[in-house]
Homo-oligomer: A and B are copies of this chain.
Amino acid sequence: MKRKIKVGNLFIGGGARVSVQSMTNTPTSDSEKTLKQVLELEKAGCDIVRIAVSNDEEAEACKNIIGKTKVALVADIQFDYRMAVKCADIGFDKIRFNPGNIGDESKVKEVVAACKRNRVPIRVGVNGGSLDKNVAAYASGAEALAQSALIHAAILEKYGFYDTVLSVKSSDVRTMVEAYEILDARCDYPLHLGVTESGTKIRGVIKSSIGIGSLLLKGIGDTVRVSLTGDPLREVEAARLILSALNLNGDCVEIVSCPTCSRCNYDMEPIVDELEKKLYGLKKKLKIAVMGCVVNGPGEAADADIALCGGKNGKAALYLKGKVLKTVPVSDAVSEILALAEKMS
């Protein structure tokens, strides 16, 4: 079990449910646009939103965002330690900051003091481009990532600071998985999982699913970020589906559907698409199966709360808790399933 760390109104680690993170990509100085994106992310099911803060103007703009959302807000600081101090003071819930990048430890001390007085935790986030130089001289790959993160964390420990979350992202899935495994074995800091620079749409979703998913399967990971080029809302959707695939998403609707083959006699894909869309975000623990034919259909239906199993002549069998309820025209399938889902507790 990892150390339990409070971030805004939620916890990371210590048995808390795995939280979902994303990051704004609007100009931080435009607080109206940024707040709009933060609220959209909140609505999509994001728990923690990170905002890059590079200068005073951007920090000032964030004052218009803090307090207006239920998500926890994290300031991403790259170079200027004064921004870390300022963001802790103005009400950010967490700071992402690598103390080893700052050079002068008196500055680190100032950041730690600001985080302590505001009870703000720090995420140390190492990736291939931000390895500790001493470590890079003798280690490489996963080992170098993990050791770099621990060295950054040790600098914070020197000043009595332990509210630390660690990440060791890599764009290589094998390296990333191995680095988190090393870290998991060597410390009790909660781990923020992610594949960095994972790419656009389908490639990025696949890399993140393998990396984050295989670690979560082993019980490693306390909070996750899916990094995708493009609209951050897709990051949240993908993260929620990763958690859902591993039954870590709390109460939610799971839709299973067969790939269809020559045995399928109806146009199944639009039905599944519409159900996915209309049931997204519904907080009920329901399994819905949409199946093409009677070969695998009844078997899958037996295991689902609601199932549709294609027959001939535009008809399909509707199953409730594994038993045939009635035969319905395929054209009514979506509304029939939604009505059943509505009624179920």
Contact = CB atoms under 8 A, between A and B. Distances in A.
Contact of A78 (B76, B269, B295): B295
A338 to B, nearest CB: 16
A174 B243 CA distance: 12
B300 A128 contact: yes
A211 B18 CA distance: 19
B245 A196 contact: no
A177 B217 contact: yes
Question: Which one of A209, A214, A295 has the greatest number of beta carbons of chain B within 10 Å?
Answer: A209
Contact of A227 (B76, B200, B202, B258): B258
Copies in the complex: 2
Interface in A197-244: 197-207, 209-210, 213-214, 217, 227-230, 232, 235, 237-238, 241-242, 244
Interface in A268-315: 268-269, 272-273, 276, 289-291, 295-300, 302-303
Contacts of A238: 202, 206
Given A174-B217, A299-B129, A269 B26 contact: no
B296 A255 contact: no
Interface of A: 23-28, 34, 50-52, 54, 58, 76, 78, 127-130, 171, 173-174, 177, 196-207, 209-210, 213-214, 217, 227-230, 232, 235, 237-238, 241-242, 244-247, 255-264, 268-269, 272-273, 276, 289-291, 295-300, 302-303
